[in-house]
Copies of this chain bind each other. A is one copy, B any other.
Amino acid sequence: MTAASPSRLSINQETIKQWSLEELAEGCTSAGISRVGLWRSPVQEYGVERAAKLMRDAGLSVTSLCRGGFLTATDPELRTAALDDNRLAIDEAATLGTDTLVLVSGGLPPGARDLAAARERIADALAILAPYAFACGVRLAIEPLHPMFASDRCVVSTLGQALDLAERFPASHVGVVVDTYHVWWDDQAPAQIARAGATGRIHSFQVADWITPLPAGVLLGRGKLGDGSIDLRAFRSMVDATGFTGPIEVEIFNESLWARPGPEVLTEIVERYRQHVLE
Contact = CB atoms under 8 A, between A and B. Distances in A.
A42 to B, nearest CB: 24
Contacts of A112: 229
Interface residues of A, number: 35
A7 interface: no
A116 interface: yes
Each complex incorporates copies of this chain amounting to: 2
A76 interface: no
Given A213-B217, A218-B214, A187 B148 contact: no
A237 to B, nearest CB: 13
Contacts of A229: 108, 112-113, 150-151
Contacts of A211: 151
Contact of A113 (B148, B217, B231): B231
B186 A116 contact: no
Interface in A216-246: 216-218, 228-231, 234
A256 interface: no
A70 to B, nearest CB: 16
A238 to B, nearest CB: 13
A157 interface: yes
A147 B145 CA distance: 11
Interface of A: 108, 112-116, 119, 146-148, 150-152, 157-158, 160-161, 184-187, 210-218, 228-231, 234
16 contacts: A112-B229, A113-B231, A114-B231, A115-B184, A115-B185, A116-B187, A151-B210, A151-B211, A152-B212, A158-B186, A213-B218, A214-B214, A214-B218, A215-B216, A216-B216, A218-B218
